[in-house]
Amino acid sequence: MKLQFKYAFLMLCLTGAFFACKDDKDTDVKPEEEKKDSIVNEYVTIKVNGVVEIKSMPVPVASFFNYNLFSFSKMGLVGAGEDSVNTAAWDVGFQGAGLTTSPNWGGTAPGYWDGVDKFAMNPSDVSVVGYEDTTFDAIKAAPPATAFMHTLAMSPQTPVYNTETGELAYFDFPKRRVFVFKLNDGRYVKFQYVSYYKGAPETPTAEIYQKDAGYWTFKYFISAKGSTDLSTK
């Protein structure tokens, strides 16, 4: 009887050890996968924190001097020129190195100016507020609604002139200039224009302006609908 008891006791111990090992294996905590940036295409990357980065997107040759209409949600161009301005679902227009929410077609259309606070030919109905001497991450929330305005154009660039001739040498893009757009669906977009030159050089020159102009680099962050939170850091 004593041998049988020892045998039974040994089997019980082994069985307990087996289930203990099994339980340990089942309850092992798997390390969380590190979040990574999402590459949309060769020009567009969505960062881990939700910031959309557009790098060296070339200005279309066919519409180089026209208004190129951009959608924040679609992360790309949705049209160009007067034919698209009233039909495409766009948020902001690029013309050269400048920005607009109200393309100016000469003011000849009926009801061009509505006499209140906006251009009638602004189907996107996007308003904006600009900030100087700040950084992208420093803007944590959208300002009050009263701060926004409808405007014909914004100037993310600063012209630099030749000190000898007085002629335009190139455009610089201040790193401490940020815009916040208010979309017509209640969301807000924090936006910074980084460069208009291929490769986004840190220090533009007249030579770069002549040879490598025509490539947009900018970044933006879209708030959740109904939220004013624009935190990115």
Q: What is the pLDDT of residues 191-218, one digit of tens each?
A: 999 999 999 999 999 999 999 999 999 9
Tokens at 203, concatenated: 């220090």
Separation between Cα atoms, residue 93 and residue 77, nearest integer Å: 9
Task: For residue 172, give Cα distances in angstroms to 31, 118, 156, 160.
Answer: 45, 29, 9, 7
Q: What is the pLDDT of residue 116?
A: 38
pLDDT above 70: residue 13: no
Q: What is the pLDDT of residue 148?
A: 87
Q: What is the pLDDT of residue 124?
A: 54
Q: What is the pLDDT of residue 155?
A: 82
Query: Average per-residue pLDDT in the chain?
Result: 80
Q: What is the pLDDT of residue 27?
A: 60
pTM of the model: 0.78
Q: Which pLDDT band, with edges at 50, 70 and 90, does 5 fall under?
A: very low
Q: Which residue has the higher pLDDT, 88 or 165?
A: 165
Q: What is the pLDDT of residue 174?
A: 87
pLDDT above 90: residue 97: no
Interval 160-199: pLDDT, tens: 999 999 999 999 998 889 999 998 888 999 999 999 999 9
Q: What is the pLDDT of residue 104?
A: 46
Long-range contacts of 161-164 (CB under 8 A, 24+ apart): 162/206
Q: Which pLDDT band, with edges at 50, 70 and 90, does 77 fall under?
A: very high
Count other Cβ atoms within 10 Å, centred on residue 42.
9
Q: What is the pLDDT of residue 14?
A: 41
Task: For residue 121, give Cα distances in angstroms to 84, 150, 200.
Answer: 12, 11, 32
Stretch 101-106: mean pLDDT: 54
Interval 31-51: pLDDT, tens: 777 889 999 999 999 999 999
